[in-house]
């Protein structure tokens, strides 16, 4: 199995453990609120990429019940849970490397911790693909794990110690450059310390950016 298949297998097998651990985590709610504030609309259409068990969608819908939300994830078990947790939203099993095949556009796009499973080339393409799916002045939120890409490799997770995922670390400079290249203007980059199970801390980067229309 390649690294994508191993990561997918872990998320598929551990979907319920992930849900139990992260469904009600409020650590990132300020970022979700900041994103919704930027949408400036009661009935915004929003795509949730790498939606997992639908935790971001559920929080956002609890605050903004009139949003039209769609979620995608590569793990079928995650999509099953996401649909149960969010009866008013729509979900599909899809690789985030294929989102350009979605035939609708959105006012905003979340990608909460999808990028740690993508190499630099795939992250850059994803940012470009998100641009293509956004309405004018559309907003993106994405989170990534900060570090030298050479640190990337297999790690056990806090929700499934017997299974591994391949984690890609990214530099802020690379992601900022990709945003600029794909015609986004940065609104905020927030760093958040996350306590790992082994007592160390990892640094999460949370980006908010807006689509700039090209004349
Ligand atoms: C850390 S969870 C994030 C869940 C949720 N967005 C959050 O922020 O809590 C990562 C999710 O990415 C999904 N994933 C990994 N690689 C993917 C890919 N290539 N395409 C779509 N989803 C992927 C996994 O199945 C998993 O549900």
- Would you say the CB of residue 31 lies under 6 angstroms from ligand 1? no
From the CA of 53, how far away is ligand 1's center (Å)? 9
> 157: pLDDT confidence band, cut at 50, 70 and 90?
confident
Query: Are the beta carbons of 19 and 25 closer than 8 angstroms?
Result: no
Q: Among the atoms of ligand 1, which is closest to the Cα of residue 25?
A: 9
Say how many Å lie between the CA of residue 96 and the centre of ligand 1: 9
pLDDT in tens, 163-196: 899 999 999 999 999 999 999 999 999 999 988 7
Whether residue 163 contacts residue 156, with contact meaning beta carbons closer than 8 Å, is answered with yes
Beta bridge partners of 207: 142, 189
pLDDT band at 215 (very low <50, low <70, confident <90, very high): low
What fold does the segment set 3-136+146-211 form as a domain?
Rossmann fold (3.40.50)
Q: Which atom of ligand 1 is nearest to the CA of 143?
A: 8
Residue 25 pLDDT class (50, 70, 90 cuts): very high
Q: What is the pLDDT of residues 116-155, one digit of tens each?
A: 999 999 999 999 999 999 999 999 999 999 999 999 999 9
Report the mean per-residue pLDDT for the chain.
95
* pLDDT score at 77: 97
Which residue would you say has higher pLDDT here, 110 or 158?
110
State residue 161's pLDDT score: 73
User: What pLDDT is attached to residue 195?
Assistant: 84
pLDDT (0 to 100) of residue 162: 77
């Amino acid at each position: 199995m390649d690294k994508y298949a191993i990561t997918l297998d872990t998320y598929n097998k551990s979907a319920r453990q992930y849900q139990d651990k992260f469904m009600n985590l409020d650590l990132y709610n300020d970022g979700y609120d900041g994103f919704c504030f930027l949408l400036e609309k009661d009935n915004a259409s929003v795509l949730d990429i790498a939606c997992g068990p639908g935790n971001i969608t559920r929080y956002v819908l609890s605050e903004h019940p009139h949003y039209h939300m769609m979620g995608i994830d590569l793990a079928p078990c995650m999509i099953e849970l996401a649909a149960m947790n969010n009866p008013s939203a729509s979900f599909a099993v899809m690789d985030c490397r294929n989102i350009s095949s979605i035939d609708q556009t959105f006012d905003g796009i979340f990608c909460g911790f999808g990028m740690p499973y993508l190499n630099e080339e795939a992250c850059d393409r994803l940012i470009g693909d998100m641009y293509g799916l956004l309405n004018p002045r559309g907003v993106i939120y994405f989170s990534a794990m900060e570090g030298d890409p050479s640190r990337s490799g297999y790690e056990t997770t806090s929700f499934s110690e017997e299974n591994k995922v391949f984690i890609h670390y990214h530099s802020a400079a690379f992601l900022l450059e990709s945003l600029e290249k794909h015609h986004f203007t940065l609104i905020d980059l927030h760093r958040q310390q996350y306590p790992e199970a082994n007592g160390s801390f990892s640094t999460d980067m949370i980006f908010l950016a807006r689509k700039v229309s090209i004349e």
